[in-house]
A and B are shown apart, each in its own frame.
Chain A
Amino acid sequence: MESYFNQDEKLLVFKVSEEIDDYKVPEIRRKADYEIQRYMPKKIIFDFNNVTFMDSAGIGLIIGRYKFANLIGATLELANLTSSIRKIFEMSGILRLVPETELI
């Protein structure tokens, strides 16, 4: 997973490239939380463009990061969801709290 921070917008973007399952989530979580603490952004986006697989471990990952974002007064959004990934997020209801956004 790569990330970049836009200082002007206080925007932190995570470009996830792992398959999101129970095996990979701890590593993604560790990296994400480290970067969030380092930059203290106002807005966080998870970009799923390069994610080829996700199961319910992804729901836990996003709920956890949503809570963290809330704690520091940041918003969290998701970009480039495939139909399979969107279906999983829709089932959990998380998209009501963490909306989809456009990201090129």
Chain B
Amino acid sequence: MNKSFDNEMKVEFVSKSSNESFARITVAAFAAQLDPTVEELSDIKTAVSEAVTNSIIHGYENKIGIVKIIAKLEGQKLIIEISDKGKGIEDVEMAKEPLYTTKPNLERSGMGFTIMESFMDSVEIESILGLGTKIKMTKTIKKPNLEEYEKDFTMVTK
């Protein structure tokens, strides 16, 4: 296995909104290896749900396509990549603005990217018009009492 990360998973599914729940639960189950708190897990599920919804609604505009999720663990860091081969985002900076939505008539709040950015440590958007969009998000899960743990460990190994 590649040494730069400790674990990896990949999942692909058809762009149906009924798969949103499947997507977030799958990533949450994978992330559970890092012992996240209930709140951290909830943040991860919400961020995944936002990105997957964007791919389905905006990327594929409810036509059939494939949404791909790759998740990696690197120490205590969770890396999630969610990509589609949909229409792409015309103006990424605009899309990131809170309350900005291209579909206001459908009661869309325009808060998707704002939520991803505040619930994860970092969010990167790569998008090419006509080719698709890839969202890369990371979140480091704090280990409880890591200092205490390391102190004990140093004492034992000395």
Question: Measuring CB to CB, which residues of chain A are less than 8 angstroms from any residue of chain B?
Answer: 19, 21-23, 25, 29, 53-57, 59-61, 63-64, 83-84, 88, 91-92
Q: Cβ of B46 and Cβ of A88 under 8 Å apart?
A: yes
Q: How far is the CA of A23 from the CA of B118 in the complex (A)?
A: 23
Q: Cβ of B56 and Cβ of A60 under 8 Å apart?
A: no
Complex contacts, A55 vs chain B, CB 8 Å: 46, 49-50, 53, 115
Q: Cβ of B108 and Cβ of A60 under 8 Å apart?
A: yes
Shortest CB distance A23–B (Å): 4
Complex contacts, B24 vs chain A, CB 8 Å: 53
Q: How far is the CA of A91 from the CA of B110 in the complex (A)?
A: 11
Question: Measuring CB to CB, which residues of chain B are less than 8 angstroms from any residue of chain A?
Answer: 17-18, 20-21, 24, 39, 42-43, 45-46, 49-50, 53, 56-57, 98-99, 106-109, 111-112, 114-115, 118
Q: Cβ of A91 and Cβ of B118 under 8 Å apart?
A: yes
Complex contacts, B46 vs chain A, CB 8 Å: 53-55, 84, 88
Q: Is the interface of A mostly helix, strand, loop or mixed?
A: helix
- From B20, B107, B114, A21 is in contact (CB under 8 Å) with B20
> Which of A55, A59, A63 counts the most B-chain CB atoms under 10 A from its CB?
A55
10 interchain pairs (CB within 8 A)?
A21-B17, A21-B21, A21-B49, A23-B17, A55-B50, A55-B53, A56-B50, A56-B53, A56-B115, A61-B107
Q: Is the interface of B mostly helix, strand, loop or mixed?
A: helix
Output the nearest chain A residue to B42 by Cβ-Cβ distance: A84
Output the nearest chain A residue to B47 by Cβ-Cβ distance: A55
- From B18, B43, B53, A57 is in contact (CB under 8 Å) with B53
Q: How far is the CA of A55 from the CA of B21 in the complex (A)?
A: 11
Q: Cβ of A88 and Cβ of B53 under 8 Å apart?
A: no
Output the nearest chain A residue to B46 by Cβ-Cβ distance: A55
**New A-B pairs, 9, CB < 8 Å, besides A55-B115, A63-B107, A64-B107:** A21-B17, A29-B107, A53-B46, A54-B46, A56-B112, A60-B108, A84-B39, A84-B43, A92-B111
Output the nearest chain A residue to B106 by Cβ-Cβ distance: A60
Complex contacts, B57 vs chain A, CB 8 Å: 22
Shortest CB distance A20–B (Å): 10
Q: Cβ of B111 and Cβ of A53 under 8 Å apart?
A: no
Q: How far is the CA of A27 from the CA of B52 in the complex (A)?
A: 20
Output the nearest chain A residue to B57 by Cβ-Cβ distance: A22
